[in-house]
Structure 1
Amino acid sequence: MPSLITKLDLPFYFVMGDYDLMTSSHAAKVFFDQIEGNQKQFIAYKNSAHYPHYEEKQRFLDWMVDTFIK
């Protein structure tokens, strides 16, 4: 995908758990950093694996509210 997606003209977010064994957060961050974009955010969850929206529910909910509702 890094060779296909180099720029996005819309907001985008990578939500990653640091202990994810299915998707490397390090590899995701390298890919994220290569994408050009005006509004982008990499959110790392220190106490989560593949499902930070379940494993850190309150933090994820707070981020969603702060990002999309306020």
Structure 2
Amino acid sequence: MSIRKKYPTDYKAKVVLEILKEEKSVSQLSSEYGIHPSILNRWRNMVIEKLPSFFTDEQKILKT
């Protein structure tokens, strides 16, 4: 039985920002951080999916 590794949210954010910069491939970052590429792709997709809601929520806050 394998134990899942848990990563702090700030660490995930740092890694995803590096992915989005596109200076290195996901494969390179996977090797560098020791995290499977499918996990990195999942994190990236989650950020991209939720990014528009950040701006919607920000506008709600600014209007109040």
Q: Could you tell me the TM-score, scaled by structure 2's length?
A: 0.31
Relative to its length, the structure with more strand (as a share) is 1
Structure scoring higher RCO (CA < 8 A, sep ≥ 6) equals 1
